[in-house]
Amino acid sequence: MKTPKPTWTSLFAFAALVLAVPAATFADEPTTAATPAAPATASASSAPADSAATTAAPAGSTSTPTVNGADTAFVLAGAGLVMLMTPGLGLFYGGMVRRKNVLATFQQSFILLGVITIQWALIGYSLAFGPSSGALKPFIGGLSWFGLNGVGLEPNADYAATIPHLLFMVYQMMFAVITPALISGAFAERMKFSAYLLFTLLWATLVYDPVAHWVWGTGGWIKEMGAFDFAGGLVVHVISGVAALTCALYMGRRKGYGEDQMHPHNLTMTAIGTGILWFGWFGFNPGSALAAGTSATIAFVTTHIAAASAAVSWSAIEWLHRGKATVLGACTGAVAGLVAITPAAGYVSPMGGLLIGLLVSLVCYGAVMLKSKFGYDDSLDVFGIHGVGGAFGALAVGVFAVKAISGGPSGLLDGNAAQLGKQAISLLAAAAYSGIVTVGVLKVVDLVVGLRVSTEFEEIGLDLSQHGERGYIMEIDELSFPVDRPAAAASVGSAYGVDSAESAVRETATRPDPVVA
C-alpha cells in the first residue's frame, strides 16, 4: 500500500491558522518583569530584566546584591543540565557516523568537558567576562580574573545579582564546553585526535571567548549597540556553524565521499542523544534568565514549543519531498528548532516560538539540501543546522520580540524595525570573525601537527587508529583490511603486540585496548 502524503494545501491551511493567532498575545498584559537590582543586568544582550527580580531594590537604592537561594538552586540545576548536553551531543553525533568511528566521534565531545573546563578556569572566563579598559574593552576581557582570582561566592551585579559569582562562572563554562564540540560534526571521521585538541584550545581562546565578550561581557560592543542574544544564538550556534563550514572546506571530503555508502550506523543512539539534548536545553535557555522567574518561564515554554513545531514541520517537509517521515528527520528538526529559539527564547511569545520552529525547518532543510549542490562534506550538517538555524534565530529576535514579555527588546512586529538591523549587524560581524580566525587556527594546527589522519587510518577508522579501541565487539571477518593497506593494518596490530590488525581484534576480546601513537 502506498504511503499517503500530506498536501501542500493542508500545510498552508495549518500555517494560516497559526498566523491568525496574534503574535503579540501578551501585548495587552502588564509587564511582569521586575526592575533589576543593578542597571547593568538589563543591558542589551544580558539576561532579561527579572534576572535579579527576587532582590529588586527601589529606584535610587544602593543596596548590596544578595544571594537568593531559589535563584541559586535554579541556576545550579541549569548548569547541570547544560553539562549533560555535551555527552548527549556525543551520542547524537556518534550514531550518525560509521561504526568504525563511533568512539572517536563521542570522544570529540566528551573530552572537552576536561579540556575546555581547564581553559575556562585559567583564562577563558576572564577573557570573556573579565573587566577591561581602554580600547580593548569593547572586544575582550582582561586577565584580572586569571585562575578565577577574584571570582568568589559574592554576586557580581554586572552579570547576576542574586547568585554567587562562581555559579555564574560555572554556568557559562558549560556553554564554552559544548560550543567547540558542535564543530566536530563537520570534520567527523577524518581529523587527528592531537589536531583536534590543539584546534579546540586555540579556537575557544581566539574565537569563543572574544565573541562571548562582545555579546554578553560588560562593555562588549554588540551588547552596547543594543543587539540581543538570550542564550547563545550568536555566541554558540552561529560562530560554531561558520567554523564548521570553514573546517569542512579547508580539510576536504572524507575518503570515498559521494562513492561509498556512509549511512548512520545507529539511529537509536542518535535519537537518544536528541532526547538528552532537548532535555538539557531546558537548562540552556531558561537557565539563561539566571533567576527562577518570569523570563525563565517564557523561555521554557518557547523552547519546548519551538522544538516541537520544528520536529513536526521537518517531518512534514521530508514526507512531501521524499515520501517518508524519518526518525532522523524528526531528530534533526527538533535540534533545528532548539537552535533557532535559543537567541529569542526569553523575548518572544509562545506563538512566536511556534512560528520560529515552523519556519526554521524550511530554512535548514533547504540549507542541508544545498550541501550536495555545492559538493562540500560537512559530515553531520553542522553548518546547515547550527550556522543557518542560529542565524535565522538571531534575525527572528528582530522580528518577533515583544517588549511586554521581557521588558527587553521589541522587534519589527512590535513596532521597532531598527532592532532587525542591529541583529543583522551583530550576525554578520560574528560570522565573519569566526570564519576568518578559524582559517588561521586551521593553518597553525596543520603546520604544527597536521590536521588529517592518513588515508590508511581513515579507512581503518578513527576508533582503532586514534584510540586503539572499538565501539562494538564484532566477528573477525566483519573488520577487514585491504591488501593494499598493509602498513596501516600493521600499525594498528603493532599497538597490540601482534602481527596484524585482525590479530588485534582477537586480542581485544581478552585484554585492555592500548593507545595507538
166-179 pLDDT tens trace:
999 999 999 999 99
Question: Long-range CB contacts (< 8 A, 24+ apart) of 365-373?
Answer: 365/314, 365/317, 365/318, 365/321, 368/332
Question: Worst-scoring range by mean pLDDT, 32-46, 216-230, 353-367?
Answer: 32-46
**Claim to verify: residue 298 and residue 440 sit in the same structural domain:** yes
Task: Give me the number of domains the chain comprises.
Answer: 2
Q: Give domain status of residue 99, yes or no.
A: yes
Average pLDDT over residues 417-437: 98
Cβ–Cβ contacts within 10 Å for residue 141, how many?
26
pLDDT of 406 reads 76
pLDDT tier, 473 (very low <50, low <70, confident <90, very high otherwise)? confident
**Claim to verify: residue 495 and residue 442 sit in the same structural domain:** no
Q: Give domain status of residue 156, yes or no.
A: no
What value does the mean pLDDT of the chain take? 86
| Reported pTM | 0.84
Is pLDDT at 14 greater than 80 in this prediction? Answer: no
CB 148 within 8 A of CB 169: yes
Query: Which is more confidently placed, 247 or 475?
Result: 247
Report pLDDT digits (tens) over 34-72.
333 333 333 344 443 354 333 333 334 446 889 999 999
Q: Give domain status of residue 25, yes or no.
A: no
Query: Which is more confidently placed, 64 or 242?
Result: 242
Average pLDDT over residues 283-299: 97
Average pLDDT over residues 265-291: 98
Report pLDDT digits (tens) over 180-195.
999 999 999 999 999 9
% of residues, the chain, pLDDT over 90:
76
pLDDT of 15 reads 43
Which residue is it, cell 539566571?
290
pLDDT of 9 reads 45
Is pLDDT at 484 greater than 90 in this prediction? Answer: no
Is pLDDT at 10 greater than 70 in this prediction? Answer: no
Cβ–Cβ contacts within 10 Å for residue 62, how many?
6
pLDDT tier, 13 (very low <50, low <70, confident <90, very high otherwise)? very low
Question: Worst-scoring range by mean pLDDT, 397-411, 472-486, 495-509?
Answer: 495-509
Q: Give domain status of residue 393, yes or no.
A: yes
Q: Give domain status of residue 12, yes or no.
A: no
pLDDT of 489 reads 52
Is pLDDT at 508 greater than 80 in this prediction? Answer: no
Helix axes 239-251, 418-448, angle to 10 degrees: 40
Residue-number span of the structural domain to which 278 is assigned: 65-148+162-448
Q: Give domain status of residue 7, yes or no.
A: no
Average pLDDT over residues 465-471: 95
**Claim to verify: residue 497 and residue 370 sit in the same structural domain:** no
Q: Give domain status of residue 233, yes or no.
A: yes
Angle (nearest 5°) at CA 457 between 501 and 436: 160
**Claim to verify: residue 486 and residue 347 sit in the same structural domain:** no
* Listed residue (262, 261, 260, 352) closest to 305, CA to CA: 352
Question: Worst-scoring range by mean pLDDT, 36-45, 97-106, 197-206?
Answer: 36-45
pLDDT of 323 reads 96
% of residues, the chain, pLDDT over 70:
79
Burial class (CB within 10 angstroms; exposed 0-12, middle 13-18, buried 19+) of 121: middle
Give the helix, strand, coil percentages of the chain, each rounded to 5: 65, 0, 35
Is pLDDT at 240 greater than 60 in this prediction? Answer: yes
**Claim to verify: residue 179 and residue 213 sit in the same structural domain:** yes
**Identity at 41, one-letter amino acid code:** T
Is pLDDT at 514 greater than 60 in this prediction? Answer: no
**Claim to verify: residue 344 and residue 405 sit in the same structural domain:** yes
Average pLDDT over residues 383-392: 98
Question: Which of these three, 399, 423, 448, is where a domain ends?
Answer: 448
Helix (H, G, I), strand (E, B) or coil at 324: coil
pLDDT of 516 reads 36
pLDDT of 372 reads 85
Q: What does 268-294 look like in DSSP terms, one character per residue?
A: HHHHHHHHHHHHHHHHHSGGGG-SSSH
pLDDT of 488 reads 52
Helix axes 112-119, 165-183, angle to 10 degrees: 130
Question: Which of these three, 448, 478, 493, is where a domain ends?
Answer: 448
CATH of the domain at 221: 1.10.3430.10
CB 504 within 8 A of CB 516: no
pLDDT of 222 reads 98
Helix (H, G, I), strand (E, B) or coil at 506: helix
User: Which residues touch 53 (CB under 8 Å, ≥6 apart)?
Assistant: 33, 34, 36, 291, 293, 294
**Claim to verify: residue 399 and residue 300 sit in the same structural domain:** yes
**Claim to verify: residue 397 and residue 479 sit in the same structural domain:** no
Question: Worst-scoring range by mean pLDDT, 21-30, 214-223, 450-459?
Answer: 21-30
**Claim to verify: residue 349 and residue 423 sit in the same structural domain:** yes
CB 112 within 8 A of CB 86: yes
Question: Which of these three, 448, 464, 491, is where a domain ends?
Answer: 448
pLDDT tier, 202 (very low <50, low <70, confident <90, very high otherwise)? very high
pLDDT of 418 reads 97
Report pLDDT digits (tens) over 297-336.
999 999 999 999 999 999 999 999 999 999 999 999 999 9
Question: Worst-scoring range by mean pLDDT, 146-155, 254-263, 277-286, 449-458?
Answer: 254-263
Q: Give domain status of residue 37, yes or no.
A: no
**Claim to verify: residue 325 and residue 194 sit in the same structural domain:** yes
Average pLDDT over residues 405-409: 84
**Claim to verify: residue 353 and residue 472 sit in the same structural domain:** no
Is pLDDT at 108 greater than 50 in this prediction? Answer: yes
**Claim to verify: residue 331 and residue 478 sit in the same structural domain:** no
